[in-house]
Amino acid sequence: MMFYDCHAHQVGTQAGGLMIAIENSKVGDMPVYSNLALRQADLGEHFCKVEYVTHAFQKTTTRIVKYHPRFEGYSAQQVLRDIAIRRPVAVVIDTLNAPFWTSYDYWKIAHANPDIQFLFSHAGGYDIQKFLEMCHFTKNIWLDFSYIQNFYGVIGDRPKYKMFEDAMEYALVADFKGRILFGSDYPEYPQERNVAWYEEHNAAQLMNENFERFRALIENHREKKALM
Ligand SMILES: [Zn+2]
């Protein structure tokens, strides 16, 4: 089955999706893209490149950027200010940052920038219900279940926390199912085994369509900006 992976740090078997760079020693020696490697890579038209914003808030070249508060230690206020300066068309934020950010911190950033699409990677971890609520009520919020789907045992062999399975199954049929994206966190977690779970839940096609729509929104946004 052809699939797009919206949370990958390396090319595996996906046909496209978001390719997210990491600029941090905390990932150890995993073979992942850095900003420079990503800039130089030729990934094809179905991939959106996403550069990583460090604590120094360095210059980026991509239309989508990733903020990683857990690694970089920046505050919600700093990210809000940086978005206002950088003006990306879409933003990926890692949401596993307890106890330093609350779910409201993420929400207010998305609220303040209604013309920017926000992908909240990992859907908030233990706060997953709050993130489903945000996605329901705020139309520029998208979620993926990368990392948590494996860590909390919905897929794979780790101990299962049933709340995550319920939340994921609900999200795939909920009113806001059009803003759920598939992500694997490859190469930390495998792609095929994760995709298979979405296939079993008749949601693999939905995930592909959602990415196409996400990409179209970004293209539209760019054209509008070019006209201004
Ligand atoms: Zn990741």
pLDDT digits (tens, 9 = 90+) for 7-44: 999 999 999 999 999 998 777 777 899 999 999 999 99
Q: Which pLDDT tens digit goes with each residue over 52-83? A: 999 999 999 999 999 999 999 999 999 999 99
| Neighbour-count burial for 98-124, b at 16+ CB within 10 Å, e otherwise | eeebebebbbebbeebeebbbbbbbbb
CB atoms within 10 A of CB 209: 12
Over residues 79-99, the pLDDT tens digits come to 999 999 999 999 999 999 989
pLDDT in the model for residue 43: 95
Confidence of residue 175 (pLDDT cuts 50, 70, 90): very high
Q: How far, in Å, from the CA of 145 to the mean position of ligand 1? A: 11
Question: Averaged over 187-195, what is the pLDDT?
Answer: 96
CA distance 107 to 94: 13
pLDDT at 220: 82
pTM above 0.75, yes or no: yes
Query: Distance of CA 150 to CAs 10, 15, 25, 160, Å?
Result: 18, 22, 23, 9
pLDDT recorded at residue 25 = 75
Distance between Cα 149 and ligand 1 center (Å): 13
Q: Which fold does the domain 4-227 belong to in CATH?
A: TIM Barrel (3.20.20)
Give the distance (Å) from ligand 1 centre to CA of residue 213. 22
Query: From ligand 1's centre to the CA of 24, what distance in Å?
Result: 12
Whether the CB-CB separation of 147 and 96 falls below 8 Å is answered with yes
* 99 C-alpha to ligand 1 centroid (Å): 19
Ligand 1 center to residue 228 CA distance, Å? 34
Q: What is the pLDDT of residue 228?
A: 47
Dist. CA 8 → ligand 1 center (Å): 6
CA 123, distance to chain mean position in Å, is 9
Q: How high is the pLDDT of residue 72?
A: 95
Q: How far is the CA of 74 from the centre of ligand 1 (A)?
A: 18
If you measure from the C-alpha of residue 37 to the centroid of ligand 1, how many angstroms do you get, rounded to a whole number? 16
The b-or-e profile of 50-66 (16+ CB within 10 A means b, else e) is bbbbbeebeebebbbbb
User: What does the DSSP 8-state code read for residue 4?
Assistant: E
Q: What is the pLDDT of residue 29?
A: 75
CA of 85 to the centre of ligand 1 (A): 25
**Rounded to an integer, what distance in angstroms lies between the CA atom of residue 15 and that of residue 188?**
18
The region, left, alpha or beta by phi > 0 then psi within -120 to 50, assigned to residue 49 is beta
What is the chain's mean pLDDT, rounded? 95
DSSP 141-176: EEEE-TTHHHHTTSSSSSPP-HHHHHHHHHHTTSTT
Distance 222 CA to ligand 1 centre (A): 26
Cα distances (angstroms) measured from residue 33 to each of 25, 44, 182, 187, 222: 12, 15, 19, 11, 25
Report CA(185)–ligand 1 centroid distance (Å).
Answer: 5
Answer yes or no: is pLDDT of 223 > 70.
no
Q: How far apart are CA 33 and CA 186, in angstroms?
A: 11
Tell me: pLDDT of 211 over 80: yes
| pLDDT, tens digit (0-9, with 9 covering 90-100), for 95-134 | 999 899 999 999 999 999 999 999 999 999 999 999 999 9
Question: Residues within 5 Å of ion ligand 1 by Cβ?
Answer: 185
Q: How far away, in angstroms, is 56 Cα from ligand 1 center? A: 20
pLDDT at 31: 83
